C-alpha cells in the first residue's frame, strides 16, 4: 500500500498549503485546516512556516501537489509523465488532461462520489459501468463518447442518488454531461487545461521529472 493512501488527508493539504479536496464536502467547510490558522503552517509538532525553498524544492512541491491531488504513487505518476512526453502538444498540459481523464476523477467530477478516494472504492467494488460493461479499474482513461452508468442494482443506484442529493445544485463541467435521474454521465469532449481545477505550474513539474 502506497503512502499516499495511508497518510492523513488534512496533513497532506497542510504540507502543500492548499486544498487538495481529499475529503470531499468537508474540505468546503470551516473544519478544513486550510481555513484555520494552520493555513501557513506545515504539519508537525512545531508547525514551522514554509519558506520559498530552493529551485529543486519548488519543483518538487509542484510535483507532489499533482500526485496527491489525483491520489497517485510515484511509479504510477511517472508512467503518466512518460505518456505525456510521447504525445504531441505542451507536455505539462497533456499530463494534466491525461490525469483528468482517469475514471476515478471523472466519477468524482460528476458527483457520483464525495472524493477521488471514494470514487476509487466505488469503481473497485464494481458499482460503475463504462458503455454498459462493468469496469473495476480506477485509472482507466475515458474518451469522447464514453458513457458512465451505475450497476443495475437497487443498492448501487441508491448509493449514487444519495450522493447526488447532497448537492442538488451541482452542475458538471462543460466536457461532461450529467443525467442525475438515471443516473449516468457522458464524456462530450476531452478536458482542457482550463478544466483542471488545480493551481499549479505544470511546466515546473515537467522540469523536475526531466532532470
| Residue 138 included in any domain | yes
Q: What is the CATH number of the domain that holds 116?
A: 3.10.290.10
Dihedral angle of Cα 10, 32, 49, 6, to the nearest 10 degrees: 0
Measure the N-to-C terminal CA separation of the chain; round to a whole number of Å.
27
Number of domains the chain contains: 3
Domain hosting residue 78, numbered range: 56-101+198-211
Q: Tell me, yes or no, whether 70 and 92 share the same domain.
A: yes
Task: Please check whether residues 44 and 60 belong to one and the same domain.
Answer: no
Give residue 42's pLDDT.
60
Residue 192 lies in a domain: no
d(CA 209, CA 44): 28
pLDDT < 50 regions, the chain? 1-2
pLDDT the model gives residue 69: 86
pTM: 0.81
DSSP state of 191: -
- Check whether residue 69 and residue 39 sit in a common domain: no
Which three cell numbers mark 211?
532532470
Amino acid at each position: 500500500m502506497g503512502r499516499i493512501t495511508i497518510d492523513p488527508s488534512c496533513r497532506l493539504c497542510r504540507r502543500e498549503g492548499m486544498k487538495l479536496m481529499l475529503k470531499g464536502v468537508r474540505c468546503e467547510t470551516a473544519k478544513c485546516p486550510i481555513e484555520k490558522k494552520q493555513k501557513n503552517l506545515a504539519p508537525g509538532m512545531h508547525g514551522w512556516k514554509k519558506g520559498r525553498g530552493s529551485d529543486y524544492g519548488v519543483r518538487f512541491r509542484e510535483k507532489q501537489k499533482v500526485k496527491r491531488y489525483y491520489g497517485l504513487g510515484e511509479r504510477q505518476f511517472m508512467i503518466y509523465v512518460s505518456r505525456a512526453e510521447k504525445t504531441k502538444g505542451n507536455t505539462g498540459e497533456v499530463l494534466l488532461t491525461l490525469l483528468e481523464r482517469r475514471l476515478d476523477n471523472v466519477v468524482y467530477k460528476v458527483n457520483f462520489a464525495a472524493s477521488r478516494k471514494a470514487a476509487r472504492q466505488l469503481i473497485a467494488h464494481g458499482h460503475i459501468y463504462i458503455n454498459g460493461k462493468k469496469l473495476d479499474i480506477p485509472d482507466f482513461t475515458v474518451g469522447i463518447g464514453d458513457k458512465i452508468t451505475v450497476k443495475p442494482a437497487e443498492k448501487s443506484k441508491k448509493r449514487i442518488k444519495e450522493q447526488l442529493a447532497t448537492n442538488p445544485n451541482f452542475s458538471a463541467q462543460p466536457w461532461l454531461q450529467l443525467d442525475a435521474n438515471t443516473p449516468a454521465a457522458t464524456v462530450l469532449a476531452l478536458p482542457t487545461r482550463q478544466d483542471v481545477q488545480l493551481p499549479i505550474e505544470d511546466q515546473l513539474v515537467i522540469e523536475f521529472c526531466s532532470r
